[in-house]
Structure 1
Protein backbone atom coordinates (compact mmCIF):
# COMPACT_ATOMS: atom_id res chain seq x y z
CA UNK A 1 0.00 0.00 0.00
CA UNK A 2 1.37 3.45 -0.90
CA UNK A 3 2.05 5.99 1.81
CA UNK A 4 -0.31 8.92 2.08
CA UNK A 5 0.74 12.34 0.76
CA UNK A 6 0.48 13.72 4.29
CA UNK A 7 3.04 11.20 5.55
CA UNK A 8 5.34 11.89 2.62
CA UNK A 9 4.96 15.62 3.15
CA UNK A 10 5.85 15.37 6.83
CA UNK A 11 8.85 13.19 6.04
CA UNK A 12 10.09 15.61 3.37
CA UNK A 13 9.55 18.70 5.52
CA UNK A 14 11.31 17.09 8.48
CA UNK A 15 14.24 16.08 6.28
CA UNK A 16 14.46 19.63 4.88
CA UNK A 17 14.22 21.02 8.43
CA UNK A 18 17.24 19.01 9.49
CA UNK A 19 19.30 20.23 6.54
CA UNK A 20 18.38 23.88 7.17
CA UNK A 21 19.03 23.40 10.89
CA UNK A 22 22.48 21.95 10.36
CA UNK A 23 23.63 24.10 7.44
CA UNK A 24 21.62 27.31 7.70
CA UNK A 25 19.23 28.74 5.13
CA UNK A 26 21.80 30.54 3.00
CA UNK A 27 24.21 27.59 2.91
CA UNK A 28 21.58 25.00 2.02
CA UNK A 29 21.50 24.23 -1.68
CA UNK A 30 18.60 22.91 -3.70
CA UNK A 31 20.69 19.80 -4.43
CA UNK A 32 21.09 19.14 -0.69
CA UNK A 33 17.34 19.52 -0.20
CA UNK A 34 16.71 17.11 -3.08
CA UNK A 35 19.06 14.54 -1.55
CA UNK A 36 17.54 14.89 1.93
CA UNK A 37 13.92 14.78 0.82
CA UNK A 38 14.30 12.31 -2.02
CA UNK A 39 12.32 14.69 -4.25
CA UNK A 40 13.32 15.89 -7.68
CA UNK A 41 13.80 19.59 -8.38
CA UNK A 42 10.47 19.76 -10.18
CA UNK A 43 8.68 17.95 -7.33
CA UNK A 44 10.17 20.32 -4.77
CA UNK A 45 8.99 23.35 -6.72
CA UNK A 46 5.61 21.83 -7.51
CA UNK A 47 4.97 20.89 -3.88
CA UNK A 48 6.58 23.79 -1.99
CA UNK A 49 6.87 26.58 -4.53
CA UNK A 50 10.36 27.72 -3.57
CA UNK A 51 13.24 27.10 -1.21
CA UNK A 52 11.92 29.94 0.96
CA UNK A 53 8.45 28.41 1.20
CA UNK A 54 9.94 25.03 2.08
CA UNK A 55 12.00 26.77 4.76
CA UNK A 56 8.84 28.29 6.25
CA UNK A 57 7.29 24.82 6.45
CA UNK A 58 10.52 23.47 7.99
CA UNK A 59 10.60 26.27 10.58
CA UNK A 60 6.96 25.62 11.50
CA UNK A 61 7.81 21.92 11.84
CA UNK A 62 10.73 22.87 14.12
CA UNK A 63 8.45 24.91 16.37
CA UNK A 64 5.78 22.23 16.51
CA UNK A 65 8.01 19.19 16.96
CA UNK A 66 11.13 20.49 18.73
CA UNK A 67 10.47 23.75 20.57
CA UNK A 68 6.89 23.42 21.79
CA UNK A 69 7.26 19.94 23.31
CA UNK A 70 10.19 21.23 25.37
CA UNK A 71 8.27 24.36 26.44
CA UNK A 72 4.96 22.57 27.08
CA UNK A 73 5.70 21.58 30.70
CA UNK A 74 6.54 25.22 31.50
CA UNK A 75 3.19 26.33 30.07
CA UNK A 76 1.16 23.98 32.26
CA UNK A 77 -0.86 25.71 35.03
CA UNK A 78 1.07 23.86 37.76
CA UNK A 79 4.55 24.58 36.40
CA UNK A 80 6.86 25.81 39.12
CA UNK A 81 10.55 26.54 39.71
CA UNK A 82 11.33 22.82 39.76
CA UNK A 83 9.77 22.59 36.29
CA UNK A 84 11.96 25.49 35.18
CA UNK A 85 15.04 23.82 36.68
CA UNK A 86 14.10 20.61 34.84
CA UNK A 87 13.91 22.57 31.57
CA UNK A 88 17.51 23.75 31.89
CA UNK A 89 18.63 20.36 33.20
CA UNK A 90 17.06 18.76 30.12
CA UNK A 91 19.05 21.10 27.88
CA UNK A 92 22.26 20.22 29.74
CA UNK A 93 21.56 16.51 29.31
CA UNK A 94 20.86 17.00 25.62
CA UNK A 95 24.07 18.97 25.01
CA UNK A 96 26.11 16.28 26.78
CA UNK A 97 24.37 13.20 25.36
CA UNK A 98 23.57 14.12 21.76
CA UNK A 99 26.08 13.31 19.04
CA UNK A 100 28.33 16.30 18.47
CA UNK A 101 26.85 16.99 15.02
CA UNK A 102 23.37 17.23 16.56
CA UNK A 103 24.40 19.12 19.72
CA UNK A 104 26.11 21.77 17.57
CA UNK A 105 22.96 22.58 15.62
CA UNK A 106 21.84 25.19 18.13
CA UNK A 107 18.37 26.57 17.40
CA UNK A 108 17.04 26.65 13.84
CA UNK A 109 15.28 29.98 14.34
CA UNK A 110 18.16 31.72 16.08
CA UNK A 111 20.54 30.36 13.47
CA UNK A 112 18.27 31.88 10.84
CA UNK A 113 18.36 35.26 12.56
CA UNK A 114 22.17 35.17 12.50
CA UNK A 115 22.38 33.60 9.04
CA UNK A 116 20.37 36.16 7.11
CA UNK A 117 21.49 39.78 7.00
CA UNK A 118 17.97 40.99 6.47
CA UNK A 119 15.16 38.77 7.66
CA UNK A 120 12.06 39.02 5.57
CA UNK A 121 8.90 39.82 7.51
CA UNK A 122 7.82 36.18 7.79
CA UNK A 123 11.20 34.98 9.06
CA UNK A 124 11.42 37.89 11.49
CA UNK A 125 7.95 37.07 12.80
CA UNK A 126 8.95 33.43 13.36
CA UNK A 127 12.07 34.42 15.31
CA UNK A 128 10.25 37.10 17.32
CA UNK A 129 7.36 34.73 18.04
CA UNK A 130 9.78 32.04 19.21
CA UNK A 131 11.57 34.43 21.56
CA UNK A 132 8.25 35.71 22.93
CA UNK A 133 7.01 32.16 23.54
CA UNK A 134 10.15 31.34 25.54
CA UNK A 135 9.82 34.57 27.54
CA UNK A 136 6.12 33.96 28.22
CA UNK A 137 6.81 30.42 29.44
CA UNK A 138 9.56 31.58 31.79
CA UNK A 139 7.59 34.60 33.01
CA UNK A 140 4.52 32.47 33.69
CA UNK A 141 6.48 30.12 35.93
CA UNK A 142 8.19 32.98 37.75
CA UNK A 143 4.90 34.85 38.30
CA UNK A 144 3.16 31.73 39.65
CA UNK A 145 6.14 31.12 41.92
CA UNK A 146 5.86 34.70 43.23
CA UNK A 147 9.47 35.47 42.43
CA UNK A 148 10.26 39.19 42.81
CA UNK A 149 10.36 41.10 39.50
CA UNK A 150 9.36 38.04 37.43
CA UNK A 151 9.35 39.77 34.04
CA UNK A 152 12.87 41.13 34.50
CA UNK A 153 14.09 37.72 35.59
CA UNK A 154 12.29 36.11 32.65
CA UNK A 155 14.13 38.48 30.29
CA UNK A 156 17.44 37.42 31.82
CA UNK A 157 16.57 33.73 31.54
CA UNK A 158 15.39 34.21 27.95
CA UNK A 159 18.68 35.87 27.07
CA UNK A 160 20.51 33.06 28.85
CA UNK A 161 18.55 30.41 26.95
CA UNK A 162 19.35 32.12 23.65
CA UNK A 163 22.99 32.26 24.74
CA UNK A 164 22.93 28.52 25.44
CA UNK A 165 21.71 27.81 21.92
CA UNK A 166 24.42 29.98 20.37
CA UNK A 167 27.11 28.53 22.66
CA UNK A 168 26.09 24.98 21.76
CA UNK A 169 27.08 25.68 18.16
CA UNK A 170 30.60 26.47 19.31
CA UNK A 171 31.03 24.12 22.28
CA UNK A 172 28.21 21.81 23.43
CA UNK A 173 30.07 20.89 26.64
CA UNK A 174 30.33 24.56 27.60
CA UNK A 175 26.62 25.02 26.83
CA UNK A 176 25.87 21.99 29.04
CA UNK A 177 27.87 23.48 31.91
CA UNK A 178 26.05 26.80 31.55
CA UNK A 179 22.68 25.01 31.47
CA UNK A 180 23.65 23.12 34.63
CA UNK A 181 24.51 26.42 36.32
CA UNK A 182 21.11 27.81 35.32
CA UNK A 183 19.49 24.65 36.68
CA UNK A 184 21.12 25.32 40.04
CA UNK A 185 20.23 29.02 39.93
CA UNK A 186 16.51 28.44 39.40
CA UNK A 187 16.19 25.35 41.59
CA UNK A 188 13.99 26.36 44.54
CA UNK A 189 16.00 24.12 46.87
CA UNK A 190 19.00 26.40 46.36
CA UNK A 191 17.02 29.59 47.16
CA UNK A 192 19.21 31.58 44.77
CA UNK A 193 16.47 33.01 42.59
CA UNK A 194 14.41 34.68 45.31
Structure 2
Protein backbone atom coordinates (compact mmCIF):
# COMPACT_ATOMS: atom_id res chain seq x y z
CA UNK A 1 0.00 0.00 0.00
CA UNK A 2 1.45 3.39 -1.03
CA UNK A 3 1.97 6.09 1.59
CA UNK A 4 0.11 9.34 1.12
CA UNK A 5 2.14 12.52 0.98
CA UNK A 6 2.34 14.24 4.35
CA UNK A 7 3.58 17.65 3.24
CA UNK A 8 2.10 20.85 1.93
CA UNK A 9 2.61 20.53 -1.81
CA UNK A 10 2.47 24.28 -2.50
CA UNK A 11 5.15 25.02 0.12
CA UNK A 12 7.40 22.30 -1.31
CA UNK A 13 6.90 23.50 -4.88
CA UNK A 14 7.56 27.12 -3.83
CA UNK A 15 10.83 26.07 -2.16
CA UNK A 16 11.85 24.15 -5.28
CA UNK A 17 10.82 27.09 -7.45
CA UNK A 18 13.21 29.33 -5.53
CA UNK A 19 16.06 26.87 -6.14
CA UNK A 20 15.32 26.57 -9.88
CA UNK A 21 14.85 30.33 -10.12
CA UNK A 22 18.18 31.04 -8.43
CA UNK A 23 20.35 28.34 -9.99
CA UNK A 24 18.49 27.17 -13.10
CA UNK A 25 17.37 23.65 -13.90
CA UNK A 26 20.86 22.37 -14.62
CA UNK A 27 22.36 24.00 -11.52
CA UNK A 28 19.72 22.62 -9.16
CA UNK A 29 21.03 19.37 -7.74
CA UNK A 30 18.81 16.84 -6.05
CA UNK A 31 20.67 17.53 -2.79
CA UNK A 32 19.81 21.24 -3.16
CA UNK A 33 16.16 20.37 -3.75
CA UNK A 34 16.13 18.00 -0.77
CA UNK A 35 17.57 20.74 1.47
CA UNK A 36 15.15 23.39 0.21
CA UNK A 37 12.01 21.26 0.27
CA UNK A 38 12.75 19.13 3.31
CA UNK A 39 11.88 16.06 1.24
CA UNK A 40 14.06 13.05 0.58
CA UNK A 41 14.94 12.11 -2.97
CA UNK A 42 12.46 9.23 -2.87
CA UNK A 43 9.62 11.58 -1.86
CA UNK A 44 10.52 14.00 -4.64
CA UNK A 45 10.46 11.18 -7.18
CA UNK A 46 7.29 9.61 -5.73
CA UNK A 47 5.45 12.93 -5.69
CA UNK A 48 6.72 14.54 -8.90
CA UNK A 49 8.10 11.65 -10.95
CA UNK A 50 11.51 13.24 -11.43
CA UNK A 51 13.53 16.40 -11.00
CA UNK A 52 12.03 17.48 -14.31
CA UNK A 53 8.51 16.85 -13.02
CA UNK A 54 9.25 19.04 -10.02
CA UNK A 55 10.68 21.71 -12.34
CA UNK A 56 7.58 21.68 -14.55
CA UNK A 57 5.37 22.01 -11.47
CA UNK A 58 7.57 24.86 -10.19
CA UNK A 59 7.27 26.67 -13.53
CA UNK A 60 3.48 26.51 -13.31
CA UNK A 61 3.59 27.83 -9.76
CA UNK A 62 5.97 30.61 -10.89
CA UNK A 63 3.46 31.64 -13.54
CA UNK A 64 0.56 31.50 -11.08
CA UNK A 65 2.28 33.12 -8.08
CA UNK A 66 4.73 35.59 -9.64
CA UNK A 67 3.86 36.42 -13.25
CA UNK A 68 0.07 36.39 -13.49
CA UNK A 69 -0.64 38.43 -10.34
CA UNK A 70 1.64 41.16 -11.67
CA UNK A 71 -0.06 41.03 -15.09
CA UNK A 72 -3.61 40.80 -13.70
CA UNK A 73 -4.33 44.57 -13.82
CA UNK A 74 -3.47 44.41 -17.54
CA UNK A 75 -5.37 41.18 -18.19
CA UNK A 76 -8.66 41.66 -16.38
CA UNK A 77 -11.95 42.65 -18.01
CA UNK A 78 -11.32 46.37 -17.37
CA UNK A 79 -7.84 47.82 -17.78
CA UNK A 80 -7.27 51.20 -16.16
CA UNK A 81 -5.43 53.87 -18.18
CA UNK A 82 -2.63 53.94 -15.60
CA UNK A 83 -2.20 50.15 -15.38
CA UNK A 84 0.64 49.93 -17.91
CA UNK A 85 2.67 52.60 -16.11
CA UNK A 86 1.95 51.00 -12.72
CA UNK A 87 3.08 47.61 -14.08
CA UNK A 88 6.33 48.98 -15.46
CA UNK A 89 7.08 51.06 -12.37
CA UNK A 90 6.32 48.07 -10.13
CA UNK A 91 8.56 45.82 -12.19
CA UNK A 92 11.32 48.43 -12.07
CA UNK A 93 11.00 48.64 -8.28
CA UNK A 94 11.13 44.84 -7.94
CA UNK A 95 14.23 44.63 -10.14
CA UNK A 96 15.88 47.44 -8.15
CA UNK A 97 15.24 45.84 -4.75
CA UNK A 98 18.35 43.80 -3.88
CA UNK A 99 16.29 41.75 -1.43
CA UNK A 100 13.93 40.49 -4.14
CA UNK A 101 14.49 37.24 -5.96
CA UNK A 102 13.61 39.08 -9.18
CA UNK A 103 16.56 41.44 -8.70
CA UNK A 104 18.97 38.63 -7.81
CA UNK A 105 17.76 36.09 -10.34
CA UNK A 106 15.78 37.84 -13.09
CA UNK A 107 12.96 35.82 -14.60
CA UNK A 108 12.86 32.05 -14.14
CA UNK A 109 11.40 31.54 -17.64
CA UNK A 110 13.75 33.90 -19.47
CA UNK A 111 16.68 32.28 -17.67
CA UNK A 112 15.41 28.84 -18.69
CA UNK A 113 15.10 29.95 -22.31
CA UNK A 114 18.81 30.79 -22.37
CA UNK A 115 19.98 27.55 -20.78
CA UNK A 116 20.16 23.98 -22.12
CA UNK A 117 16.66 23.15 -20.79
CA UNK A 118 15.38 25.87 -23.13
CA UNK A 119 15.96 23.50 -26.06
CA UNK A 120 13.31 21.15 -24.69
CA UNK A 121 10.13 21.52 -26.77
CA UNK A 122 7.81 21.72 -23.75
CA UNK A 123 9.95 24.35 -22.03
CA UNK A 124 10.27 26.33 -25.26
CA UNK A 125 6.48 26.22 -25.68
CA UNK A 126 5.97 27.45 -22.11
CA UNK A 127 8.41 30.34 -22.61
CA UNK A 128 6.76 31.24 -25.93
CA UNK A 129 3.32 31.18 -24.32
CA UNK A 130 4.61 33.38 -21.48
CA UNK A 131 6.00 35.90 -23.93
CA UNK A 132 2.65 35.94 -25.77
CA UNK A 133 0.78 36.41 -22.49
CA UNK A 134 3.12 39.29 -21.58
CA UNK A 135 2.73 40.87 -25.04
CA UNK A 136 -1.07 40.58 -24.89
CA UNK A 137 -1.19 42.17 -21.43
CA UNK A 138 1.12 45.03 -22.40
CA UNK A 139 -0.91 45.58 -25.57
CA UNK A 140 -4.10 45.87 -23.53
CA UNK A 141 -2.38 48.30 -21.18
CA UNK A 142 -1.24 50.44 -24.09
CA UNK A 143 -4.74 50.45 -25.60
CA UNK A 144 -6.16 51.61 -22.27
CA UNK A 145 -3.48 54.28 -21.83
CA UNK A 146 -3.54 55.53 -25.43
CA UNK A 147 -7.03 54.79 -26.80
CA UNK A 148 -6.65 57.10 -29.80
CA UNK A 149 -3.35 55.64 -30.96
CA UNK A 150 -3.47 54.03 -34.42
CA UNK A 151 -3.74 50.21 -34.15
CA UNK A 152 -0.49 49.59 -36.05
CA UNK A 153 1.37 52.09 -33.90
CA UNK A 154 -0.12 50.50 -30.77
CA UNK A 155 1.05 47.06 -31.94
CA UNK A 156 4.57 48.34 -32.60
CA UNK A 157 4.64 50.04 -29.21
CA UNK A 158 3.45 46.86 -27.47
CA UNK A 159 6.14 44.86 -29.29
CA UNK A 160 8.82 47.38 -28.32
CA UNK A 161 7.72 47.46 -24.68
CA UNK A 162 7.61 43.67 -24.55
CA UNK A 163 11.16 43.56 -25.87
CA UNK A 164 12.29 46.05 -23.23
CA UNK A 165 10.64 44.05 -20.43
CA UNK A 166 12.22 40.79 -21.65
CA UNK A 167 15.60 42.55 -21.88
CA UNK A 168 15.21 43.91 -18.35
CA UNK A 169 14.33 40.47 -17.01
CA UNK A 170 17.31 38.92 -18.79
CA UNK A 171 19.70 41.61 -17.51
CA UNK A 172 18.44 41.85 -13.92
CA UNK A 173 20.81 39.29 -12.45
CA UNK A 174 23.94 40.68 -14.08
CA UNK A 175 23.37 44.40 -14.65
CA UNK A 176 20.62 46.01 -12.61
CA UNK A 177 21.33 49.48 -14.02
CA UNK A 178 20.74 48.25 -17.58
CA UNK A 179 17.62 46.37 -16.47
CA UNK A 180 16.27 49.56 -14.95
CA UNK A 181 17.22 51.52 -18.08
CA UNK A 182 15.27 49.04 -20.24
CA UNK A 183 12.13 49.66 -18.17
CA UNK A 184 12.75 53.42 -18.30
CA UNK A 185 12.95 53.14 -22.10
CA UNK A 186 9.58 51.38 -22.22
CA UNK A 187 8.06 54.11 -20.05
CA UNK A 188 9.57 56.79 -22.28
CA UNK A 189 8.20 55.12 -25.42
CA UNK A 190 4.71 55.11 -23.93
CA UNK A 191 5.05 58.73 -22.82
CA UNK A 192 6.22 59.80 -26.28
CA UNK A 193 3.41 58.02 -28.15
Sort the TM-score into its range (normalised by shorter chain). 0.7 to 0.9
Pick from 159, 170, 183: which aligns with 1:179? Answer: 183
TM-score by length of 2: 0.87
- Structure 2 runs not aligned, ≥5 long: none
Partner of 2:41: 41
Runs of 4+ in 1 over 3 A off after TM superposition: 4-7
The two structures have a TM-score, normalised by structure 1, of 0.87
Displacement of 1:96 in angstroms is 1.9
Q: Deviations over 1:22-79 (max 9, x none)?
A: 0001111111000000000111111111011100000000000000000000113332
The alpha-carbon distance between structure 1 residues 118 and 175, as it changes in their structure 2 partners (threshold 3 A), is: closer
Alpha-carbon displacement from aligned partner over 1:81-118 (angstroms, at most 9, x marks no partner): 42111111111111222427651211101110101265
CA offsets per residue over residues 137-184 of structure 1, 9 Å max, x none? 112233342322222221111111100101111122332233234234
Name the structure 1 match of 2:12.
Answer: 12
| Partner SS state of residue 89, structure 1 | helix
Distance in 2 separating the partners of 1:82 and 1:40? 47
- Structure ranking higher on relative contact order (CA contacts 8 Å, 6+ apart): 1
* CA RMSD, 1 decimal: 2.1
Gaps of 5+ in 1: none
CA-CA distance at 1:6 after TM superposition: 8.7
In structure 1, what is the equivalent of residue 115 of structure 2?
Answer: 115
